[in-house]
Structure 1
Amino acid sequence: MIFTKIIRGFISAQLPEVRIILGDAVVEVAKQGRPINTRTLLDYIEGNIKKKSWLDNKELLQTAISVLKDNQNLNGKV
């Protein structure tokens, strides 16, 4: 996965769950017909963070957002 190097800096116990969140975001963004990139994934996750079903994973969601933002900063693309 693209984010493996960045994810390594986070708690290893969170790694599987964060990958699932990112994978789900990729699938949902693709279903919407939007391009799959850091910006669209961030938009999707940040837009859904307040949904009731996502609230239980708020710490993991914040970790996934941090991974995406770190990736964006690392690659210098906005």
Structure 2
Amino acid sequence: DLVLMDLQLPGIDGMEALRRLRESPRTADIPVVAVTAQAMKHDRERVLDAGFDGYIEKPISVRAFPDQVRGFLSDRQVGTE
């Protein structure tokens, strides 16, 4: 499992949505990757410090995206062995 989450959601921001996912025992261990147009250096640090497992900047590269997702999934499998 992997959640790709935009940080700018209608009615709730991605940080709050992540907090709620982490609070629930059913979703607490699912990796969550921020997908955002907020691409300043401090934005990346802020997102990772908030507890996201990864960070993908928009616009998404359609060529790189599948490998990025595979990378997050393989990192998770290595961590669970």
TM norm structure 1: 0.36
Structure scoring higher RCO (CA < 8 A, sep ≥ 6) equals: 1
Higher strand share: 2
Higher helix share: 1
TM norm structure 2: 0.35
